[in-house]
């Protein structure tokens, strides 16, 4: 190809642009995949669990309360925030009690065989454990008969957890 033909050939910049766009598309797909394969529901950018709400506060003040970055703990690959050092210490001593069950996924959806992140504003404490729900309807249905949903959710959780860890 002559120098003149190389200068006016539109295919080289177009090919580079296509490669760039394909690379961006693959990167976005990898980020989206990573966000849906978490064993604990976290913010994919910050790694903060349950939107920074204090998991112990649900038991102490019986409502969602925002944690403080000054009182953080790293556990299970997530950053947990607390209102004070006492809540942080309680969580670290008994994370299986204070941490949201099913990794923060909605137990009604888990019972159906799907993992949908719970919203920390929709919660129930049942049998001294914290459950988060994706919707108010799910929370209300669960509150009416937690045993039914927990029976199904516990049967399905191991299989769903295996999928999430891939």
**pLDDT given for residue 152 in this prediction:** 97
| Lowest-confidence region among 24-38, 39-53, 115-129 | 24-38
Strand partners, 146: none
- Does residue 29 share a domain with residue 103? no
Q: Is the pLDDT score of 36 beyond 90? A: no
Mean pLDDT of 15-35: 42
Residue 15 binned pLDDT confidence (cut-offs 50, 70, 90): low
Q: Is the pLDDT score of 97 beyond 80? A: yes
**pLDDT given for residue 7 in this prediction:** 53
Boundaries of domain holding 24:
3-35
Other CB atoms within a 10 A radius of the CB of residue 140 amount to 13
- Does residue 90 share a domain with residue 17? no
- Does residue 140 share a domain with residue 94? yes
**pLDDT given for residue 13 in this prediction:** 58
Tell me, yes or no, whether 41 lies in a domain. no
- Does residue 132 share a domain with residue 57? yes
Q: Are 33 and 63 in contact (CB under 8 A)?
A: no
Residue pLDDT, tens place only, 40-79: 999 989 999 999 999 999 999 999 999 999 999 999 999 9
- Does residue 17 share a domain with residue 91? no
Count of domains forming the chain: 2
Residue 38 binned pLDDT confidence (cut-offs 50, 70, 90): confident
**pLDDT given for residue 164 in this prediction:** 84
Coarse DSSP helix, strand, coil percentages of the chain, rounded to the nearest 5 percent: 55, 20, 25
Hey, what are 11's tokens? 């295919």
**pLDDT given for residue 98 in this prediction:** 98
Q: Is the pLDDT score of 28 beyond 50? A: no
Tell me, yes or no, whether 40 lies in a domain. no
């Amino acid at each position: 190809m002559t120098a003149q033909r190389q200068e006016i050939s539109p295919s080289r910049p177009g090919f580079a642009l296509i490669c760039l766009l394909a690379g961006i598309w693959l990167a976005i797909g990898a980020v989206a995949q990573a966000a849906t394969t978490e064993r604990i529901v976290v913010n994919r950018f910050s790694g903060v669990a349950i939107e920074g709400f204090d998991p112990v506060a649900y038991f102490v003040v019986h409502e969602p309360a925002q944690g403080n970055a000054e009182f953080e703990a790293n556990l299970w690959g997530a950053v947990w925030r607390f209102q004070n050092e006492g809540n942080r210490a309680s969580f670290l001593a008994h994370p299986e009690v204070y941490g949201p069950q099913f990794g923060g996924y909605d137990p009604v959806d888990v019972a159906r065989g799907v993992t949908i992140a719970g919203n920390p504003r929709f919660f129930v404490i049942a049998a001294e454990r914290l459950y988060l729900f994706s919707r108010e309807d799910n929370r209300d249905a669960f509150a009416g008969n937690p045993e039914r949903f927990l029976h199904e959710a516990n049967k399905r959780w191991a299989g769903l957890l295996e999928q999430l860890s891939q």
